[in-house]
A and B are shown apart, each in its own frame.
Chain A
Amino acid sequence: MKTKQKRRLAFAAALLAVGCVVAAVIVYGLGQNTMYFRSPSDVAARQVSEGVAFRLGGLVEKGSVQHGAGADTRFSVTDGKSVVRADFNGVLPALFREGQGVVATGAMDSSGTFIASEVLAKHDEKYMPPEVVQALKKSGRWQEGQ
């Protein structure tokens, strides 16, 4: 009986140790790898530091899209209050349009341009990324039924 109890205790201790290690790994992983969502107003308020990856969301400003050399595209993201210049070298999603919602992943460079590494595809025309809706609501440029 004694040995059985001992074994159980050792077993429980081992499981606890494994659990702690896994929890530590998860917490560390989350700390290192979460990306915040920011609106152009947040960027203007200097809430993001240069070189730190984040997700930028808003509307593609009308008349701002310029195709550069190669596959390079420059455009502006706006939430109605502030505007952030963005630069993306890659294939834009099929539904990328001026005046439509967009979410891009990337970081600010030293000149204050957002260097996008990925521009997220929307799955259909009606869909507006919820983060963008929130950003527009915050800047007061969101009308219900939009």
Chain B
Amino acid sequence: MTGELGQLALCFALALALVMAAAGLAGTRADRAGARAVASSAALGHLVFVGLAFGTLVYAFVTSDFSIVAVAGNSHTLKPLVYKISGVWGNHEGSMLLWVLVLALYAALVAALQRGGARLTSGAIGIQGLLAAAFLLFILFTSNPFFRLDPAPFEGAGLNPLLQDPGLAMHPPMLYAGYVGLSASFAYAAAALLVGEEGWARAARPFMLIAWIALTCGIALGSWWAYYELGWGGFWFWDPVENASLMPWLIATALLHSALATERSGAFRTWSLLLAIAGFSMSLIGTFLVRSGVLSSVHAFASDPTRGFFIMVLICLAIGGALALFAWRAHTLQGGAAFEPVSRETTLLLNNVFLVASCACVFVGTLYPLVLDAINGTKISVGPPYYALTFAPIFFAALFLVPFGPRLGWKRGDLKAAWRDLYPALGLAAVAAVVVLAVASPRTIAATGAFAVAGWLIGASLIDVRKRIGRGRGGARASAFAAALAHAGLGVTLIGVAGTTAWRSEALTVLAPGETMTVGPYTLRFDGVTRERGPNYIADRAHIALMDGRDVRATLLPEHRFYPAEGQDMNDTAIRTTGVRDLYLALGDDRGGGRFTIRAYVSPLAPFIWLGGLVMALGGLLSLWGRLRARPAPQSQPAAQALAAE
């Protein structure tokens, strides 16, 4: 029964999405207030029905209803409850339904908040209705999660053990909230092109922020998961699937900055529109890469060519349609306002140039092997050295320029004053570089430079915070603090990345019980392996004592797990962190006679990588809070003050 209910809910949702599209687009005409009301209600109803369908699927997973294909293929009665639920999006069909659910949430939010003019909002709802209808058709025709099995099996096939992890249970919803969240900016931008109405940047701002925060958290979670789960001690592998999430983030970051200029000083009007389109296009391309099966990885569930083809057509329609609209209508919008070469606009322009360029590097590196394979079947791979050579220097240059932005006025800035203001940050950068050169070994130019830039970023943020205390009010103050936090977060992440990359030590040894090994400053004693039973796996658990002279300071327990239901092996690492340094252990192969391979890493400053992501996300949250609190129209007195203060 539940499956049919879900199916029915999906059909109703599709009908309402079509109503949203028709009524929303009709509502862009000034005299169609009725259509606008219909579009808004349809958006809310659409959310209800997609929510119902999703709830039905969750219910089927929780109750282990194996007559449904998606459940039988990806769940198991012995699985802990939280992984039964996360199994909903641990497969192709369910994850596409989650995609549509998030899309419906944003559309309902757009309808409920009614930011911007009535025609603009209506147009945005219409565009979101079109997107929702297209993806619902995709689900119903190629990836229906409610397909029945007859006869139903007694037991499910289980979920890939790599995905049975709390970090990864949260990772897809987070990432989708970011990916799909860019659809709101996209819809507003397209609507702005349709109705020619200004103010879309202001209207779409909260949605951009929510999407950016979620993307930041999602990427950080994914990287953290890869770090502790994959057992290689790395935090970023330049895997195409990782790149698929990084590209929208880079564009979304560029969009946040350029839309700010559009909103505050009227600069980059058409450019911001283009970025909003590009941001969601990157999300769509990411979805295509991950979901179509062109890439083989843990993320790619499907390898059904019709799905890939369908998504490809969808992407071409969405991106092509939006770009055609842009080409057709962009000139009708007022041109961007002029600004002096030394001004905040210039720094934002450079920010955008660098971010888009770094995104282009990632884009080419990700797609080049696929294109080459499609053309002549040559199999190549593009590894981390490519990104170190292209992405890293460009992104580094962008980081160096960050502190100037908030210090230069709109339209015309004073570079000398900005420099003077930044002297303490320059001092902090110099101190950081000197300390690194004096203390660290090995000494590397990259690490020294990275620490100097990190000091520069964090120093500048501290100056910002100090200056802002007691100055400005409400929204303006929140937004200044938010920028300072987000920029400082970049510095923190940079410290983590530089620290682990430059000074990680690694040891790889085969140990018999009682033998010891050393890694970095640590001495470890292998105390043998025991057989343990988990809820749905059997594990070889190594007991490894961290020695302090002759005493045992702590015991670490890395495991090698076998999941009988899935017939798969997996490593579970043991990490002991002091907050500034991680000791990381993975249990390797059984070499017979109680001897095992043990792999150990000492990663200095590793936790800073994800701490920085958290700080950036907090900055985004603060900015969002300031935005939602300060609702008055842009012309009113407090907002004008805010403009002056910034």
Contact A26 B361 (CB under 8 A): yes
Surface stretch bound by A, among B250-258, B282-290, B380-388? B380-388
Surface stretch bound by A, among B89-97, B442-450, B586-594? B586-594
Contact A30 B588 (CB under 8 A): no
Interface flags, B561-598, vs A, CB<8A=1, else 0: 00000111111000000000000001011010000010
The smallest beta-carbon distance between B506 and chain A, in angstroms, is 10
B338 at the interface (CB under 8 A from A): yes
Residues of A close to B389: CB separation below 8 A: 25, 28-29, 32-33
Given the interface pairs A4-B338, A22-B357, the reply to whether A71 lies near B382 with Cβ below 8 Å is no
Residues of A in contact (CB 8 Å), total: 36
Given the interface pairs A22-B357, A91-B599, A123-B160, the reply to whether A36 lies near B378 with Cβ below 8 Å is yes
Q: Using a CB-CB cutoff of 8 Å, which residues 84-138 of chain A contact chain B?
A: 89-92, 94-96, 121, 123-125, 127, 129-131, 134
B360 at the interface (CB under 8 A from A): yes
The smallest beta-carbon distance between A57 and chain B, in angstroms, is 9
The smallest beta-carbon distance between A86 and chain B, in angstroms, is 16
Residues of A close to B510: CB separation below 8 A: 70-71
Given the interface pairs A71-B588, A90-B508, A127-B296, the reply to whether A35 lies near B361 with Cβ below 8 Å is no
Contact A55 B381 (CB under 8 A): yes
Contact B589 A25 (CB under 8 A): no
Contact A35 B381 (CB under 8 A): yes
Contact A34 B380 (CB under 8 A): yes
B400 at the interface (CB under 8 A from A): no
A10 to B272, CA, bound (A): 21
The 8 Å CB contact of A37, one of B160, B381, B568, B591, is: B381
Given the interface pairs A22-B357, A94-B560, A130-B296, the reply to whether A30 lies near B591 with Cβ below 8 Å is no
Task: Return the chain A residue nearest B588 by Cβ.
Answer: A91
Interface centre among B357, B591, B599, by most chain A C-beta atoms within 10 angstroms, is: B357
Contact B379 A37 (CB under 8 A): yes
B195 at the interface (CB under 8 A from A): no
A35 to B382, CA, bound (A): 6
A130 to B297, CA, bound (A): 11
Given the interface pairs A26-B360, A36-B379, the reply to whether A67 lies near B368 with Cβ below 8 Å is no
A15 at the interface (CB under 8 A from B): yes
Given the interface pairs A36-B379, A91-B586, the reply to whether A30 lies near B365 with Cβ below 8 Å is yes
A28 to B588, CA, bound (A): 38
Residues of A close to B385: CB separation below 8 A: 32-33
Residues of B within 8 A of A (CB): 160, 162, 230-231, 296-298, 338, 353, 357, 360-361, 364-365, 368-369, 377-383, 385-386, 389-390, 393-394, 508-510, 560, 566-571, 586, 588-589, 591, 597, 599
| A–B complex contacts, Cβ < 8 Å, 9 sampled | A15-B353, A22-B361, A29-B365, A30-B382, A35-B383, A55-B379, A90-B508, A91-B597, A130-B296
Residues of A within 8 A of B (CB): 4, 7, 15, 18, 22, 25-26, 28-30, 32-37, 55, 67, 70-71, 89-92, 94-96, 121, 123-125, 127, 129-131, 134
Given A30-B364, A34-B380, 17 more pairs with CB closer than 8 A: A26-B365, A29-B361, A34-B369, A36-B380, A37-B380, A55-B381, A71-B509, A71-B597, A90-B508, A91-B586, A94-B571, A95-B568, A121-B230, A123-B297, A124-B566, A130-B296, A134-B379
